[in-house]
Structure 1
């Protein structure tokens, strides 16, 4: 009787092995599809939020995405928590067709892009080209004022909820929200999830 119950152990072990193999292959396939993708992350020239740049960038690069950092100045930018980052390019030199995703990073300095016509054009060009458009913390206000968030499910930092609602966005309060090709996140605590959501979108 005992043998009868033990015998299925071998096929079950084989099943587990095959399942793990399939998961591995699928994981590699997702990574392959994110590899060779290109992202541009736009930060404020001063007081960007450190985690909102560094964590998503780490996630993207680990998945084979090439990341370019853009800002309104080529001088070393300082984050709110002291991180020092030398931008690669001026945001005014961004050619949207060169990238698969355009990401606006938050922090108290990110308000410099809220009413910037070039930032609005970059966001609109990326959206019209069906690129992934990301924004975290207070940066969704830039997308809102560019006209991208009307009737879209969106999240943002608590201080800017009314700003996006007044632009017709549907605020959800989630850590990370995706509506079509637009991905938004609520703030520093959601930075990791934000990066993962962008990688997932790039892999689809």
Structure 2
């Protein structure tokens, strides 16, 4: 399957993103011809929790949702920087409103919850986020990966490949 006409924006923390949650979906996307743009709050190189690096293409504040088919919020402890970031929350809301594929893994689904896009949506995340997701109207499933319409969530690094494949499946429809 080739998806050469598709473009994905992966949002990583400026430091301490979770390596597998970035690298594994990114490889799945690139292997099928999807163009991947990496965004963060700082330009340069972002470092993952275990030492992986991400070359940052654009700033989060410069993301234009209309240019992408999917937005992916990568997890890891550093992703907390986006939990209440007005620009990140607007990106999530705009992507949802425009029926783009919007996805988040590990603790990053809290970004989607705080943006108000998980109401009555079946979701999952790292267990520490359950209270925040349900408080914001999400239906907690605790599954490894959950797909509800254009929203895809996953529980953590062990599900990174399945998460990437779920996004790929969404983009191929």
**Common topology (TM > 0.5):** yes
State the match for 1:84 in structure 2: 53
In structure 1, distance between residues paired with 2:92 and 2:5: 22
Shift of residue 166 of structure 1? 0.8
Deviations 1:61-115 (A, max 9, x none): 1111100000000031110011122211101100111000001000000000000
Structure 1: give runs of 5+ residues left out of the alignment. 1-30
> What's the TM-score, normalizing by structure 1?
0.83
Which has the larger share of helix?
1
Shift of residue 176 of structure 1? 0.5
In structure 2, distance between residues paired with 1:124 and 1:70: 17
Superposition map of 1:14-33 within 5 A: 31-32=1-2
Q: 1:103 aligns with which of 46, 50, 72?
A: 72
Structure 2: give runs of 5+ residues left out of the alignment. none
Aligned length: 173
> What's the TM-score, normalizing by structure 2?
0.98
Bigger CA radius of gyration: 1
Which has the larger share of strand?
2
In structure 2, distance between residues paired with 1:116 and 1:54: 24
State the match for 1:56 in structure 2: 25
Secondary structure at the aligned position of 1:86 is classed as strand
2:160 paired with 1:187: no
State the match for 1:200 in structure 2: 169
